[in-house]
Structure formats: structure tokens, C-alpha cells
Structure 1
Amino acid sequence: MEKLKFQKLVTSVLLVASTTGVLMTAPKRVQAVADTNTTESGKPVANIVNKPNLTKQGYVLTIQAPSGKIYVGQKNYKKQLTTTKPISNAKSVSWKKIKNVRFRIEKVAYATKVIKFGGAPQYLLVSKDKKYSCWTTRYSIKYYFWNTKKMQQVIKPLSKLTTRNSSSLKKIRNKQDFNQAILAAKRLPANQRKVVLESLNQVKKVGNIDKAEDNILLFSF
């Protein structure tokens, strides 16, 4: 009888210890998962970096239907230099009202490693007087002179390359179309020619239009 009581006592002690251990360790495991997947306002935490090769090309971009708000004022511009988070109670403007304003890229934000496969890079576009600024993806960015008549002579042959299975310049047809785009670029006005030729020379150096990253001329394709 005494032996049975002793066994029950040992079992009770072990059960209490086991339960206490679960209660002590469970919150720590939950917290670790929360820390790993932390987001800011429901959006991926991003690493913001400078891209001098993009910035130096100057104010030659326009915004169309951005993924984020276009904020007004230098105060809001300065806030966006260190974060991609939406700004609360900040004045913004519709992209349709500033179609003729030129922008340049000042920063690029990449999603953190934990969630990098779920987010495309974002670009901080800023007007020359810092009045307008916006974080958006490349699909809302276009070269300012994209719709001009002479630019169409550059875009059309490049468009043919993007619709083929391979856009390698080693392919005869691709090389012919690319050279046609180069010739058309050389006939552009001086205020357009430099940027377009620099972008095309980058493609030529890489040898494939699909592999030419950080190329503002190709953002809209």
C-alpha cells in the first residue's frame, strides 16, 4: 500500500514538472516565430540602398499608376529616405495631375531575406525640387520621352526582342533589331540621346535584353 502511494506521488510530481515546463517554454517559441516574420504595417521590411548608376541618369522619368502614394513636400520626402512605410496623415497627389513632372531614382528597397521571394524591388522617385516623392515598383516607371514619335523608332525593334523565346543578341534577328534601335537612338534630340544610348550600350555589354538589370529604359517593357 505504501509503495502504491509513493508511485502516485512520484507521478504527480512529474506531471506538475512537465506542465510547468510546457508553460515556460511555449511563449518563447511563439515569440521566436513572431520575430522572424516581423513586418511593418503589413508590408515587408526592406533594405534601402543607394544606386548611383540609376540616380546619375537624372530627372528623366515619369510615374504612371504607382503602387504607393505620391507625397507632397520635402518633409515627407525626407521621411521616405529611411523607410518604405506609408506616411500617416500626409498630403498626397494623384499621378494624373503631375504627368509632366520629371523624376529621378534616389533609392532602391529590397525585401529582407525572409520574405524576398514575395516582394519586387521598390524605387524612390523624387522630383527635382523635392516637392513630390513616391515609393513604387518598376512597372509604374517610364522614360519621360517614351511616347514621343522618334522614341517609337527605338522602342519598336526592342519590343520584337522581348516577344521572342530568346532575347540574346547572339541570335541574328535579335542583333539586327537591336542595331536598328541603336541607329534610331543616334537620331534622337540631344536631351534624349545620351540616356537612351547609355541604356542600349548596357544591353549590348550584357548581350541579352532580359539580363540587363537596373536599366530604366527597359522598365516599361
Structure 2
Amino acid sequence: MDAWTCLHDLFQDNEHSRAVTLEHEFSSTHMRDFPNVSAYCQRLKILADQLKNVGTPVSNSRLVLQLVAGLTDAYSGVGMLIRRSKPLPPFYQARSMLTLEEADFAKKVANEIDSAMFSSASDDATSYPDTKPQNHGDGNKHNTKNKNRNNNGHKVKYDGSFERHKARLVGDGAGQQVGIDCGDTFSPVVKPVTIRSMLSLSLSKAWPIH
């Protein structure tokens, strides 16, 4: 009888220790640690079920409130909507609201990327008209000069100042002479619209930015 009592007490101690560990993990679960809403919600539900198995059930209200508390700033709007609902919605309904919000974020990011690509294509088409390249016999191909280019091939305004510091040159590089075939040009590798699109995508996915 004493042996069974010892085993029972040992089992109770292990169960209590497990409950404490699960409680801590449940309370410290945040969306920023997961790739998407579904993975975040699934982890919370698994922890709630495990707490129930060790004799510490989690009510729907507490589960929903913990779900809202762990959201990232991008979901603060829908989180406030859920928190102000009276009564609080069931867990599955709150999860559906977050999933729809995530889908809206993805759609907005896709539209921004499409707009940025269209804007970039339009800008390139305006800056560099469709002209056939001419071969100057030195192995290099240059765009045909238009009436707004100076002697060095740079685009200029009517007052003679540079229109923009940008150039297009395709050649072998071996037979070029600075000042004749090419000049010093500076062009950014990434456009601001691309940076904004990537930041929006990172925000919607709650990705860390370094």
C-alpha cells in the first residue's frame, strides 16, 4: 500500500511539474515566432489540449485572449476587434478572422509589387526610348543618341544640366576608352519601390528584419 501511495505521489508531482512547464510555454507563445497565423494558432491549441490532459483545462476565453495577446503589431486592428467582442468569439472563429486578415495582407503586398514592377517598367521605357543599337566597329554596342544627349552620350536638359545620372552600355570592356566610349556612371542597384514592397511583405509575414 505504501508503494502505491509513493507511486501516486510521484505521478502527481510529475503532473504538476508538467502543468507548470506547459503554463509557462502557453503564456509565452507569440506569433512572431511562427511563419504564419495557422502555425501560431495550432501551437496554442496543442498547448491548451496538453494542459487539459494534466488537469489544468484552458477555457475558450483564456485561449482567445492569449491568442490576441501574442499577435504582432500588424494584426493589432483585428486583435482589438476580437478583444472588444461581447462575448468573446469561439477560438475557431477568432482564428478565421486572423486568417482572413493575413490573406488581405498578402493580396496588398502582391498588388504593391505589381504596381512597383509596372512603375519601374514605365520609368525605364520613358528614360530609354526604343532605339536600335549601333555597332561602332570597336566591339561595343551603344544606344542611338537622341536630340537631348550631349557629346558624351549623357541625357541632358535644355539648359545643359544632366537630366539624371544613369546610362546604358553593353560592351566587351576591353576596347573602351574613358571619355570616348564611356564615362563615370552611378546607378542604384535597388529602387525605393522594391524596398517598400519587401518591407510590406516582411511586415505582413512578421519576418525579422536585419
The answer to whether TM tops 0.5 is no
Name the one with the larger helix percent. 2
Name the one with the larger strand percent. 1
Give the TM-score taking structure 2 as reference length.
0.31
- Name which one, 1 or 2, has greater alpha-carbon Rg: 2
Give the TM-score taking structure 1 as reference length.
0.30
